[in-house]
């Protein structure tokens, strides 16, 4: 079976296509959302999701989150003394989702369609693909998150042609896509975005406001206090949606600091973030050759679009109410599962034709003549422009710039800068050419880019017909099958915690965290429930374990609601 996976910055989901349509598969705790958080203890045990998130308050040096923002980079995370790349941490999230789906469905999962932000470049896309492979999945196809959302909304079922804009503000990334539906063809017209803007930034603003009002400095807080602050800021961010002010408190040492933050203060503090949202919207419309008034519908996806300050801003920007009929957290995963069904050629979706675009310009490095006889090297020559509908194939003819030149080297680059050095290097190839005066010999450079993000580069010498080809799969960041197998073996010592123990371990970690944050009578009351639960665990009586766990969780719910 092929499943769809939404590998998110804050939360991840897995979905499959059933006889009744796309369906989210619940995780081992019965929840649709699995936090994209990983923890590794000193014994090599891996905790993913809610359990890992709870461990953050107690063992902050053993936990990693928001690592999606670093996908495709050389950054490493150290957890309990062990080093991991972002794609390796992502693979643990994917592996947990895969195991949960296999248990729920009762069959093996071998392949997945994984969603990526539309504005992910080649390195980030290939790192995502590698994460899936490290988790033991075949990943032949990825789908842009806004495109997946558009598919999930069933817009291809509409009876009239429609232009719409998908606004995707997740936990850590932001995408805008302009799409057009005509007949049964869903065409992506343009994409834009920011890989470093999302709901986490809005949480950060709330935390910053609290520090200012409580007269605290972040660098003076311990790691545990910083984690508590982040948790309180997240709660306050959600709560301010339903009220005109929120109260935050933070236990610092033996003293509890408190501060009140109004909706107006929060909105003003978020103004800079809201302005950053405007730019990708304008760029995507400009690339598509459209105006705001040309857009028939605006669709919101991503958990951060639940924020009233974001929705109010968008209503003012678009001068219309957006479509929010689907759960913004689940839309992308549902769309990815539909794309998986398309790949399987399922009868229910075979009539849908889906096109995508190239998110970044693809080109090569050239020498340009800026005055008679004066040349400048290191310039970028676009061959396939960003937002070109794919699959696409474009050819550019390049000429020699020196007398008796014997070789032409084509460096394959991705990006938007006019200077080659500022763009992403993907690979290169070189061809021999006959000696001749400058400008006499030339090569045709053809770039062919397909829906699976594979780029074929062909360089053909015009005078001789000799050509060379190169398939770009990520060049400097693409692991071979042998390397992937070796790394999978190296990670094999890491043991993801069994499904059966997850609920109990989560309850214990949550109780430990609340105990650390509590004082006085609250601690004594918690100790009563915690002792009873631990006694049940020691006896091994499953019914008593279930009962005492529920009592402990109910108490914790009341404590955290206060």
For 519, the enclosing helix (H) or strand (E) is: none
Q: At which residue do the structure tokens 């958990």 appear?
A: 303
Q: Is 213 a catalytic residue?
A: no
Residue 189's contacts (CB-CB under 8 Å, 6 or more residues apart) are 163, 178, 179, 180, 287, 288, 290, 357, 387
Task: Spot the catalytic one: 53, 68, 85, 237.
Answer: 68
E strands along 400-550, which residues?
Answer: 407-414, 424-432, 442-449, 455-461, 467-472, 495-496
Q: Which 3 state secondary structure label does DSSP give 385?
A: coil
Q: What's 216's DSSP letter?
A: -
Phi first, then psi: give them for residue 162, nearest 5 degrees. Answer: -140, 140
State CA 104 to chain mean position distance: 25
Task: From residue 90, give the alpha-carbon distance in Å to each of 65, 281, 301, 376.
Answer: 10, 29, 21, 42
Q: How far apart are CA 257 and CA 240, in angstroms?
A: 19
Q: Is 68 a catalytic residue?
A: yes
Task: Spot the catalytic one: 168, 194, 329, 356.
Answer: 168
Q: Is 403 a catalytic residue?
A: no
Q: How many CA atoms, within 13 angstroms, populate the side-chain half-sphere of residue 323?
A: 17
Task: Spot the catalytic one: 133, 145, 502, 517.
Answer: 145
| CB of 147 closer than 8 Å to CB of 356 | yes
Q: Are strands 392-399 and 11-18 parallel, antiparallel or unpaired?
A: unpaired
Task: Spot the catalytic one: 6, 99, 441, 517.
Answer: 6
Exposed/middle/buried for 465, CB within 10 Å: 0-12, 13-18, 19+?
A: exposed
Render 496-513 in DSSP notation, one character per residue. Answer: EPPHHHHHHHHHHHHHHH
- Structure-token pair, residue 206: 């709330």
Q: What is the b/e burial string over 370-383, where b = at least 16 CB atoms within 10 angstroms of the residue's CB?
A: eeeeeeeeebbbbb
Q: Is 296 a catalytic residue?
A: no
Q: With CA atoms as reference, report the closest residue to 39 among 22, 57, 26.
A: 57
Q: Where are the alpha helices (DSSP H) in 153-262?
A: 199-213, 223-239
Catalytic residue ranges: 6, 68, 145, 168
């Amino acid at each position: 079976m092929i499943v769809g996976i939404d590998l998110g910055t804050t939360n991840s989901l897995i979905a499959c296509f059933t006889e009744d349509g796309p369906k989210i598969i619940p995780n081992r705790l019965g929840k649709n959302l699995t936090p994209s958080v990983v923890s590794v203890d000193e014994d090599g045990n891996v905790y993913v999701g809610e359990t890992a998130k709870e461990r953050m308050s107690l063992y902050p040096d053993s936990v990693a989150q928001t690592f999606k923002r670093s996908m495709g980079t050389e950054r490493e995370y150290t957890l309990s003394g062990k080093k991991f790349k972002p794609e390796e941490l992502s693979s643990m999230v994917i592996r947990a989702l895969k195991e949960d789906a296999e248990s729920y469905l009762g069959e093996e999962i071998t392949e997945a369609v994984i969603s990526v932000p539309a504005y992910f470049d080649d390195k980030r896309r290939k790192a995502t693909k590698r994460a899936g492979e490290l988790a033991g999945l075949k990943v032949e196809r990825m789908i842009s998150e806004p495109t997946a959302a558009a598919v999930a909304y069933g817009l291809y079922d509409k009876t009239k042609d429609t232009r719409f804009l998908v606004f995707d503000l997740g936990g850590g990334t932001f995408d805008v896509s302009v799409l057009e539906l005509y007949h049964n063809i869903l065409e992506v017209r343009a994409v834009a975005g920011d890989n470093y803007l999302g709901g986490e930034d809005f949480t950060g603003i709330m935390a910053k406001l609290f520090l200012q009002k409580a007269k605290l400095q972040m660098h003076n807080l311990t790691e545990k206090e910083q984690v508590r602050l982040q948790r309180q800021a997240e709660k306050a961010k959600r709560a301010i949606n339903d009220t005109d002010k929120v109260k935050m408190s933070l236990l610092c040492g033996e003293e509890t600091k408190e501060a009140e933050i109004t909706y107006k203060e929060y909105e003003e503090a978020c103004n800079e973030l809201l302005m950053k949202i405007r730019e990708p919207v304008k760029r995507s419309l400009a690339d598509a050759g459209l105006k705001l008034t040309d857009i028939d519908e605006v669709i919101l996806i991503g958990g951060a679009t639940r924020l009233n300050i974001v929705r109010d801003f968008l209503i003012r920007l678009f001068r219309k109410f957006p479509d929010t009929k689907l759960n913004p957290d689940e839309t992308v995963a549902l769309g990815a599962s539909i794309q998986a069904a398309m790949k399987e050629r399922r009868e229910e979706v075979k009539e849908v034709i889906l096109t995508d675009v190239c998110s970044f310009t693809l080109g090569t490095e050239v020498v340009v003549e800026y005055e008679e006889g004066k040349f400048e090297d290191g310039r970028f020559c676009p061959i396939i422009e960003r937002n070109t509908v794919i699959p696409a194939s474009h050819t550019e003819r390049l000429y020699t710039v020196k007398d008796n030149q014997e070789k032409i080297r084509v460096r394959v680059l991705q990006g938007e800068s006019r200077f080659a050095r500022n763009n992403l290097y993907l690979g290169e190839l070189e061809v021999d050419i006959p000696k001749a005066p400058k400008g006499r010999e030339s090569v045709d450079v053809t770039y062919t880019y397909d829906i699976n993000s594979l780029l074929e580069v062909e360089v053909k010498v015009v005078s001789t017909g000799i050509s060379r080809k190169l398939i770009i799969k990520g060049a400097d960041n693409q692991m071979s099958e042998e390397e992937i197998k070796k790394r999978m073996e190296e990670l094999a010592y890491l043991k993801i915690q069994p499904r059966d123990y997850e609920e109990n371990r989560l309850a214990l970690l949550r109780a430990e965290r609340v105990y650390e944050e509590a004082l006085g009578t609250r601690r004594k009351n918690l100790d009563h429930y915690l002792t009873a639960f631990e006694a049940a665990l020691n006896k091994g009586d499953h019914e008593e374990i279930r009962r005492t766990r529920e009592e402990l969780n109910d108490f914790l719910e009341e404590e955290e609601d206060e």
